[in-house]
Amino acid sequence: MNEFSLIKQYFQTSDNQRKDVLIGIGDDAAITQIPEGQLLATTTDTLLESVHFLKESQPSAIAHKAMAVNLSDLAAMGAEPAWINLSLSIPKADEIWLRAFSDKIKELTEYFSVQLIGGDTVKGSLAITITAQGFVPSDSTLTRSSAKPGDWVFVTGTLGDASAGLDILLGKLEAADPTHKHALVNRHYFPTPRILAGQTLRRLASSCIDVSDGLLQDMQHIVEASGVGVILHLDRLPISRALGSTVPHLDQALGYACTGGDDYELLFTVPEVHRVSVESAMASYNIPCTCIGQVTGANGKVDLRLDDKEYELPETLQRGYQHF
Amino acid sequence: MNEFSLIKQYFQTSDNQRKDVLIGIGDDAAITQIPEGQLLATTTDTLLESVHFLKESQPSAIAHKAMAVNLSDLAAMGAEPAWINLSLSIPKADEIWLRAFSDKIKELTEYFSVQLIGGDTVKGSLAITITAQGFVPSDSTLTRSSAKPGDWVFVTGTLGDASAGLDILLGKLEAADPTHKHALVNRHYFPTPRILAGQTLRRLASSCIDVSDGLLQDMQHIVEASGVGVILHLDRLPISRALGSTVPHLDQALGYACTGGDDYELLFTVPEVHRVSVESAMASYNIPCTCIGQVTGANGKVDLRLDDKEYELPETLQRGYQHF
């Protein structure tokens, strides 16, 4: 099998053809059409074996995560996903692996109504780069840089589950209850991009980011981009029952929730005037979301409170992946 | 240095801001604007060390090639390049390497008036994935699939130089003349995407592809996509003086020209009615181009002729990179 027949067999499908894709896989470039009045959102993320996923990960989990991290970036911009480019570096053309990987890509492109429009397949150590493209209405861009003092800080879902799941897989954390264990490990393998939440926030939130590097690190990105400060009330952090029961010590649970990465929840700020709208919109879509703090003046810091007292996270519990 | 400071220091620049980039590097996704009446062209290519470039390659040459191969795909669609996403996997944050690499990216983004709008930086074996985006007018898409019997087959520039240059670097080929040697090695390291040629061909050529895998393999792509056949006259292939003098045997020169990859010339077909327009447009832009054959009926084959006799390339001279 050569590169071209591999692409044809596993990735060039006639299903799920979007009307805005004029030329998809199979030419030198894809040709697509942006709807009138919409801007283009583009994001790229690379996943490497042993860095972004464990060596023993199933191909379906790798495909899921590669899609999810990119769609999550679009979600954080309030974008509607449209097209995907996939660059795949694999050590060999293993048909079972490729079938499982490409089936998951296909399943997710259908679920999210996106189309795979191009890519590249090369022989090398396992690495997946996806470039995801989507639309945002030109009058409602959601960025990291417009948080204002007084705005409320919210987060969707629960925090810390994915990194606790990773620690279970690495043998660093034990989960006695198999249901909890399954829930946490699943959060690591199959994160859910908050597409609908992002689109809901477009005209309501003042800033937004997805929690990929850990709450504190990602909060810091908003703080720096917006030139503000933030107070976070750690007692209000949404901790799942699975994490809470598995990690009985509060400090340890807070460690996961504050600095564990890969949750792909949305962290966003909301002006007082939109707070009720956000809460009722999220409730009507059944998206859990919690107010965890408030934006302050321009001190450039993320200040932590526990039961209204200043709090510092023990250094041993700090995570947040650093590549270099 | 962490990932964020690395991106800030080397890739986040305030120069070369295009007006159609509303949000560039530094948020979850870039936000850009497509001009009215234009379609979006998107292409992705990954370059791996020891596969797409030699281990000892200079960072500037790697950056050049990563940009060129992607811009060449846009050229083959007749697109006007606009934006670049760069995903960089590097074994360590080597400041000298990063400075040289990022300087070359900056130089080329300025030269081609494109803007780096996003990307990813991870720690891993050296690999570069670029996604390039550009525009094509909605009424003049250039593809591989519309060659018609009777159309003339053209190619820009000269063929085989890049792979001869690679063979010189690998010690498989000797070039006595230092000027010729330099010329061939340079074609390997610094290919030129034929952007202007591609845009010129938009309303004139019936099909187009860039020569990345070798003339015969890329010709075959047009033949299959268009459902035609092609006769190529090998005696008409444009061979540079550097290649012709370095490789005195005709068969060997034809081997490089037919199956050596990485030339990034444009291979295209032109209806008789547009032949003169193409030749004069190319001449006026000073772009060398040569008629090397003609499209025939639907036999799905690339037939070779030498001095009007059927010819088969000796198997030992066949190249054309196969990943798997």
Kindly determine whether residue B122 and residue A323, on different chains, have CB atoms separated by under 8 Å.
Answer: yes
Give pLDDT, residue B167. Answer: 94
Q: Which residue from A162, A166, A197 is spatially nearest to A72, judged by alpha carbons?
A: A197
Share of chain B above pLDDT 90, in %: 84
- Is the ipTM beyond the 0.90 threshold? yes
Answer yes or no: are the C-beta atoms of B245 and B172 closer than 8 Å: no
Question: For the segment B111-143, what is each residue's pLDDT rounded down to a tens digit?
Answer: 999 999 998 999 999 999 999 999 999 988 899
Selected for mutation to probe chain B from A1, A44, A74, A267 (highest B CB count within 10 Å) is A44
Numbered ranges of CATH 3.90.650.10 in chain B: 152-315
Using alpha carbons only, what angle is made at residue B161 by residues B156 and B164, rounded to the nearest 5 degrees?
155
Average pLDDT of B88-109? 94
B152-315: CATH class:
alpha beta
pLDDT at A321 over 70: no
For A206, how many CA atoms within 13 A lie in the half-sphere containing its CB?
25
Task: Average the pLDDT over B198-224 and give the result.
Answer: 96
Chain A interface disruption, residue of B4, B23, B28, most A CBs within 10 A: B28
Residue A15 pLDDT level (bands cut at 50, 70, 90)? low
Q: Which two tokens stand for residue A308?
A: 């209204």
Nearest to B77 by CA among B109, B125, B40, B33: B40
Kindly indicate the confidence band of residue B314, based on its pLDDT and cuts at 50, 70 and 90. Answer: confident
| Shortest alpha-carbon distance between residue B44 and chain A (Å) | 5
Which residues of chain A have a CB within 8 Å of the CB of B125?
A: 124-125
The mean predicted confidence, pLDDT, of chain A is: 93
The tokens of A102 are what?
A: 């490409």
Task: Spell out which residues of chain A touch residue B209, defining contact as CB-CB under 8 Å.
Answer: 28
* Other C-beta atoms lying within 10 Å of the C-beta of residue A123: 16
Q: b/e map of A240-257 (b: 16 or more CB within 10 Å)?
A: bebbeebbeeeebbbbbb
Asked if the Cβ–Cβ distance from B33 to A39 is below 8 Å, we say yes
CATH assignment of A152-307, among 3.40.50.410, 3.40.50.620, 3.90.650.10, 3.40.50.2000: 3.90.650.10
Residue ranges matching CATH 3.30.1330.10 in chain B: 3-137
CATH of A3-137, one of 3.30.1330.10, 3.40.50.620, 3.30.70.100, 3.50.50.60: 3.30.1330.10
Subunit contact A28:B2, Cβ cutoff 8 A:
no
- Indicate yes or no: CB of A51 within 8 angstroms of CB of B93: no
Minimal CA separation from A254 to chain B, in Å: 24
Tens-digit pLDDT profile for residues B259-282: 998 999 999 999 999 999 999 999
Contact list, A219 vs chain B (CB under 8 Å): none
- For residue A245, the distance in angstroms to the closest alpha carbon of chain B comes to 33
Residue spans in chain A of domains classed CATH 3.90.650.10: 152-307
Annotated binding residue A43: yes
Tokens at residue B204, please?
Answer: 């004139």
